[in-house]
Amino acid sequence: MLEACEVALSLTLQNIDHLKKQLKQLDKVINRELEAIPQTLTSVKGLGPVSAAGIIAEIGDIKRFKDQAALAQYAGLTWTRYQSGDFDAEERCLTKSGNRYLRYYQVQAANSLRVHNEEYKAYYQTKYCEVSKHQHKRALVLTARKLERLVFALLSKGQIYKGTVMN
């Protein structure tokens, strides 16, 4: 019994070492690919190379989108409309259409920015305190939408982020 546990533990440790090596190799490939792309997104404090690479890969050519609203709709960071006559519902859900991978990368990046970037931390806190239901999810998606506007501006203008609001 003891010998079987030792063998299982040894194999598990070997698998962990192998996965660590693969992860390092993958990080090198991602960084090499990012060197060919202008460092517009990684200039934002809190936005790492993996998130930036994922966002850029999922967006493709930014010129496909006429404005940030079109990019947000492509990512699925828009809300459905429930209305009939004069009635317009206040509680609405996020659309399920759109590029789910881009939405995932942007929400994860927004979560990172919420922790590491003071501007986004303040924005998240403001949106968090506005409502009593679904506070974290709502605030996080709204922070991702704010990031969406920044991503569109940085990629379409080819600028480096300097911590100021761009028009």
- Same domain assignment for residues 13 and 53: no
Distance CA 130, CA 118 (A): 19
pTM for the predicted model, two decimal places: 0.74
Token readout for 133 is 């239901």
128 in a structural domain: yes
- Same domain assignment for residues 59 and 28: no
166 in a structural domain: no
Q: Which domain holds residue 120?
A: 39-157
User: Number of folded domains in the chain?
Assistant: 2
- pLDDT tens-digit series, residues 93-145: 777 788 999 999 999 999 999 999 999 999 999 999 998 888 898 899 999 99
User: What average pLDDT does the chain have?
Assistant: 87
Distance CA 125, CA 69 (A): 23
Using pLDDT thresholds of 50, 70 and 90, give the confidence band for residue 167: very low
- Same domain assignment for residues 9 and 86: no
- pLDDT tens-digit series, residues 29-47: 877 877 767 688 888 999 9
- Same domain assignment for residues 68 and 10: no
- Same domain assignment for residues 86 and 119: yes
127 in a structural domain: yes
Q: Which range among 80-84, 94-98, 144-148 has the greatest average pLDDT?
A: 144-148
Residue 163 has pLDDT above 50, yes or no: yes
What are the backbone dihedrals phi and psi of residue 65, each rounded to the nearest 5 degrees, phi first? Answer: -110, 130
